[in-house]
Amino acid sequence: MHTVTVLTSRYLFFDGFKQPDPAVGQTWYLSQSGTSVIVVGKKFSKVVYPESERVWKMDVKDVGIFAPTAADIMRELPGWNLTYATEIGWHVWWDDGTEQEYCEPLVFIHENPAEAAALAWFHEHEKKTTK
């Protein structure tokens, strides 16, 4: 999977993650059913259901929630790094660059890179909303 899950998409949406204007190639989840659709037409007028390959015309922004990729989320996380290591898989990490003896880098690990990035986004969002 190249995007976050439907549940994570909903959490991101309700926590204020930016919902972009739909563009060709993006994945969106329909709000009511959680079914994923991929935008295939200009001005988001056509979407395809991956399971059936059926094409429908709809205004996906009115009925859907954006399913961001790791790249979409990482654009909102300046200073964070997305890396893959065979031993632990995908991980998003922050190291403040100081040489403090007790300072350990902050790391979020997940098998899906978009989910790892979402964990870091939730961490950053929580810091901003609790100040």
Tens-digit pLDDT profile for residues 49-89: 666 666 666 677 777 889 999 999 999 999 899 999 999 88
**Tokens at residue 72, please?**
């979409």
Nearest to 68 by CA among 39, 27, 122: 27
Q: At 3, is the secondary structure helix, strand, or coil? A: strand
pLDDT at residue 90, rounded to an integer: 92
- What value does the mean pLDDT of the chain take? 81
Pairing of strands 46-49, 54-57: antiparallel
Of 22 and 131, more confident = 22
Name the nearest CA neighbour of 84 among 99, 70, 98: 70
The predicted structure's pLDDT at residue 72: 97
**pTM across the whole model:** 0.81
